[in-house]
């Protein structure tokens, strides 16, 4: 009885955990296949469903990225990068698209919003990608550091001030 209450022998515990891990890995793989397939189907049939799918997804990053690029779905690609923690890729794409006159991501607004929500753990990315925004639109660019948003309020003020004094003295 004690043997059963304690969960069996070490060997049984290892076997049970390895089955759980295998099941979890298989489930994750299946979710990737399903979500990536759904993404491709939605792009062909009803692309209004793409953005909601990408907000909570298990898509295979490389395959979804390739598919979205092929369909020129840049706002949706930003969502994918954001949900997968690929912030540098998202910010590089936002900077590139900001210069395209026919892009829905044209200008600085979407980049400002993205940077505002990154949080203090990504301060180096925020400082790096705020540079072009501050040069293009200084007044709006300052919102990256001054907006009344929790993530912005938690940014390390001394580091932000030092950055602005060193790289953007004209502000």
> How does pLDDT run across 79-136, given as a tens digit for each residue?
999 999 999 999 999 999 999 999 999 999 999 999 999 999 999 999 999 999 999 9
Both tokens of 24, joined, read: 């979890």
H or E element at residue 144 = helix 143-146
d(CA 27, CA 41): 21
Nearest to 67 by CA among 105, 40, 38, 49: 40
Total structural domains within the chain: 2
Q: Are residues 81 and 142 in the same domain?
A: no
Please tell me whether residues 111 and 158 are part of one structural domain: yes
Q: Does residue 92 fall inside a structural domain?
A: no
User: What is the Cα–Cα distance from 46 to 37, expressed in whole angstroms?
Assistant: 13
Check pLDDT > 90 for residue 41: yes
pLDDT exceeding 70 applies to what percent of the chain?
A: 87
Same structural domain for residues 127 and 166? yes
pTM of this prediction?
Answer: 0.83
Q: Are residues 31 and 68 in the same domain?
A: yes
Answer yes or no: is 49 within a domain. Answer: yes
Range of the domain at 133: 100-171
Q: Quick one: which of 141, 78, 85 has its CA closest to 108?
A: 141
Residue 91 in any domain: the answer is no
What are the distances in angstroms from CA 103 to CA 16, 75, 95, 110, 132? Answer: 52, 9, 11, 12, 18
């Amino acid at each position: 009885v004690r043997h059963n209450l304690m969960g069996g022998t070490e060997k049984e515990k290892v076997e049970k955990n390895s089955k759980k891990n295998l099941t979890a890995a298989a489930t994750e793989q299946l979710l990737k296949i399903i979500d990536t397939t759904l993404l491709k189907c939605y792009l062909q049939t009803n692309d209004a469903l793409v953005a909601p799918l990408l907000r909570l997804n298990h898509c295979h990053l490389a395959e979804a990225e390739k598919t979205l690029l092929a369909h020129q779905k840049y706002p949706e690609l930003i969502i994918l990068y954001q949900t997968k923690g690929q912030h540098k890729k998202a910010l590089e794409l936002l900077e590139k698209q900001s210069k395209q006159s026919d892009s829905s991501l044209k200008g600085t607004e979407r980049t400002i919003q993205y940077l505002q929500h990154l949080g203090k753990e990504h301060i180096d990315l925020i400082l790096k990608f705020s540079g072009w925004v501050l040069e293009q639109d200084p007044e709006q660019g300052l919102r990256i550091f001054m907006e009344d948003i929790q993530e912005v309020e938690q940014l390390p003020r001394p580091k932000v001030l030092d950055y602005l004094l060193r790289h953007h003295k004209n502000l």
